[in-house]
Amino acid sequence: VTEGRINLTFRCKTKETDGEEEHERRDQWLEQMIDGAAPDSQGWSAASHSETGNVTNAATTTAFNDHSVFGHGVKQGDIPTDQKIQFLAKTNMGAECYCAAEIQEILATIVMESDTGGSTKLDDWHVVAQPLGMDGYVACCCPTDHGENHDSIHKVKTTLLQNLRSAHHLLQYHTRLDIQDMVTEEFPEPKLVDGETLYQYVKKRLVDGTIVIQSLVNLKEKGGTFRTTCERVGGPHAFRGPDVEFEAGGAMSEFYTWCKPKMEDYDVNVRVDVIANVVVIGTQLNVSDLSKDRHFMKFRNVVTIKANLAYAIVRCAGIQPGMSIADPFCGSGTLLLEALEVYKGQLKCIGLDVSRKTIQGAAENAVAEGYNSEVCHFICSDARGLRRHLGDESLDAIVSNLPWGIKTGHNGSISDLQTIYEIFLRTAWYSLKDGARVVLFVLRGLQLTRIVRKLGGRYRLLSVNVIRTTNNLPCLVVIEKLAVDQVRESVKGQLAHFNKYVSVSSELYEAIHMETINDD
Ligand SMILES: C[S@@+](CC[C@H](N)C(=O)[O-])C[C@H]1O[C@@H](n2cnc3c(N)ncnc32)[C@H](O)[C@@H]1O
């Protein structure tokens, strides 16, 4: 290293250099936000609450330091040969793993009482995400030799309907059709198959008995009404969703003559969903979407996350009862309310939002759900100021649906999301305990992962899942706080060890490494 080179480094740091002003502005920002911001001892602090309150701090339990993320390792794809699909849970595409993990947990809680007085667990049921290429579905399978009306089928159905949080719908599975099998000479490609051809195909399969809609068969004695509903994604298709409802519904009403089609107040809802070239037929067992109206939402933010995804985010955070968690971009507070419900109110929650109207609304929502400000506290603040409101190392987890667009802050001013995300993660690091997780739902998944890599010594990326919402592909990103930057510590240790063998003054060392030799 020559003096010349060092001078070169200094020369680069002049006002004339492009972008230097921007760097300086940003450095000042960081200094202000990170080092200058002493936590307000009078303010709400999760740490002080847990000291005085009766909430235990579970951050050091083994489970919290377990790195496996909820939903990892679930079975995917094929159905075991000795199993058949009994139920299908419908969730967001990309969120199947969370739904499968939840169903597995629910099945594990079901214990069947036998006639002889003993009790058994449902070990013989299997859960498979994206079964047979059905994106957005999770199959709940029982052994093929199970009787149709077996007690366990009923028990699984009712328990899932009462408890499932990660799904939109629960279906009694009937069949899966492939549009490829419907092609004819007239319509030689799946994309050309029209509604009339779909009708012919379904009718033929009903007549030859290879499709049985058991829920409609069950109406035979008393008669009843039904409707078909269709959600169509992927394609291109030569039919629209309403065409599928009309044609498939027509075939069913002609075959099951005792069932009358009815659009409202019907007895049975048969779903005929089309996902690219796959048609899934099942009877919807729930009435309204399982993810809707879960919380008393007195106030609804412009963008409100669906409760089933809120559940997945919360479960990925490795939360245990008694922990302190925060949502620094809380909107109407859905994530915190979901967490409080899942962990039976045994959490300390803090929500931040830059909009005063939104934060007031979130507080109203929490009160409507029965949580006072001791349990769920809301502050109108920029997320980058999180450290001002919390003690250092006071949070066990952060869960958040980050702002997606470019309109942020007050008065709709445009600022750079990249900067917001990065500064937020830099400052949040101080408020998090060692090993705490940060679970973020973000439209710009690649951008966020680049930032996490940049902050590599502070955080570790645990998982990234792309999830389909109506017309977007946001990511669910799980990261973990690292208390020590091991690479940096190792390099510094080696430098300190070998420094005695070279004649590098402390000034020169500082110039080379941009920190002092004895620095922490
Ligand atoms: C995607 S929404 C969150 C929605 C929320 N999960 C819900 O279900 O209602 C993002 C929220 O971040 C807030 N926000 C934007 N920039 C912010 C900032 N710098 N600090 C804090 N909140 C911010 C917005 O006001 C908005 O309410």
Beta strands in 1-124 (DSSP E): 83-90, 111-113, 119-121
Atom number, ligand 1, closest to the C-alpha of residue 300: 9
Query: Which pLDDT score is estimated for 43?
Result: 28
Distance 382 CA to ligand 1 centre (A): 9
What type of residue sits at position 203? Answer: K
pLDDT at 28 over 80: no
- Residue 511: predicted pLDDT: 86
Ligand 1 centroid distance, CA of 329 (Å): 4
Substitution candidate for ligand 1 out of 300, 301, 402, 441 with most atoms within 8 A of CB: 301
Is pLDDT above 90 for 297? no
Residue 205 or 507, more confident: 205
- Out of 72-81, 98-107, 472-481, least confident range: 72-81
CATH number for the domain formed by residue range(s) 83-284: 3.30.2130.30
Domain definitions of the chain by residue range: 42-67+294-482, 83-284, 484-520
pLDDT tens digit sequence for 318-333: 999 999 999 999 999 9
Residue 182 CA to ligand 1 center (angstroms) comes to 47
Evaluate if residue 37 carries a pLDDT over 60.
no
Between 124 and 477, the more confident residue is: 477
Q: What is the DSSP letter of 34?
A: I
The span from the CA of 389 to the CA of 369, in Å, is: 24
For residue 224, report the phi and psi dihedrals to the nearest 5 degrees: 170, -175
Q: Which of 353, 378, 400 to mutate to test the pocket of ligand 1 (most atoms within 8 A of CB)?
A: 353
Mean pLDDT score, 104-118: 81
Please say if the pLDDT value at position 85 is more than 60: yes
Q: Supply the residue whose CA is at minimum distance from atom 16 of ligand 1.
A: 408
Nearest residue (by CA) to ligand 1, atom 1, is: 403
Q: How confident is the model at residue 112 (pLDDT cuts 50, 70, 90)?
A: confident
Show contacts of 55-61: CB within 8 Å, 24+ apart: 55/322, 55/346, 55/348, 56/322, 57/322, 57/323, 57/324, 57/396, 58/320, 58/321, 58/322, 58/323, 58/396, 59/320, 59/323, 59/396, 59/433, 59/435, 59/436, 61/320
Tokens coding 140: 């709940």
Output the residue whose Cα is nearest ligand 1's atom 26.
331
Kindly give the distance from the C-alpha atom of residue 321 to the centroid of ligand 1, in angstroms, as a whole number: 25
Asked if the domains 42-67+294-482 and 83-284 are classified in one and the same CATH topology, the answer is no
Gap from CA of 501 to ligand 1 centroid (Å): 54
Secondary structure E strands in 421-507: 432-442, 459-466, 475-481
Give the C-alpha distances (Å, rounded to integers) separating 185 from 52, 181, 243.
Answer: 77, 12, 21
First to last CA, the chain: 25
| Domain 42-67+294-482 indexed as CATH 3.40.50.150 | yes
Which residue ranges have their beta carbon within 6 Å of ligand 1?
Answer: 301, 303-305, 328-329, 331-332, 334-335, 352-355, 358, 382-383, 401, 403-404, 408-409, 420
Cα 352 to averaged position of ligand 1 atoms, centre (Å): 8
Q: What is the mean pLDDT of the chain?
A: 84
Tell me the mean pLDDT in the region 486-492: 83
